[in-house]
């Protein structure tokens, strides 16, 4: 059994709270890094993205419908079969698509 003074106990509580804060921040950074590396940084076809979601290309097209204005602003036409990397990143974030790590 360890007996601590009130001052020692308060220092221990402060140290534990600091450690918990550091762990929480590390977890947030790890999650951010996971999401960053889980998005592809290359041109991808709409069919490839549909496959990552496990839906048909037709269903994927309907899922893209609400995003079409932003995609147009990015220079992606509605009929484009390939999406440039910046558009792939946007679509992945909006539709919660993550890719397996290579």
When pLDDT is averaged across residues 21-50 and rounded to a whole number, the result is 77
Provide the pLDDT for residue 98: 75
Average pLDDT, the chain: 86
Task: Give yes or no for residue 38 having a pLDDT over 70.
Answer: no
* Eight-state DSSP code of residue 81: S
Angstrom distance (rounded) from CA 35 to CA 87 = 16
When pLDDT is averaged across residues 37-46 and rounded to a whole number, the result is 76
Angstrom distance (rounded) from CA 28 to CA 13 = 23
Q: Which of 31-40, 48-57, 66-75, 78-87 has the lowest mean pLDDT?
A: 31-40
pLDDT band at 37; cut points 50, 70, 90: low
When pLDDT is averaged across residues 85-96 and rounded to a whole number, the result is 91
Angstrom distance (rounded) from CA 60 to CA 56 = 6
């Amino acid at each position: 059994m360890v007996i601590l003074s009130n001052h020692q106990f308060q220092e221990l509580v402060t140290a534990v709270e600091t450690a918990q804060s550091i762990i929480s921040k590390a977890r947030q950074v790890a999650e951010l890094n996971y999401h960053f590396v889980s998005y592809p940084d290359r041109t991808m076809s709409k069919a490839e993205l549909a496959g990552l979601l496990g839906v048909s290309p037709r269903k994927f097209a309907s899922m893209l419908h609400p995003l079409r204005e932003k995609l147009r602003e990015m220079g992606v036409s509605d009929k484009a079969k390939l999406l440039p990397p910046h558009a792939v990143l946007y679509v992945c974030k909006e539709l919660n698509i993550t890719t397996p790590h290579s």
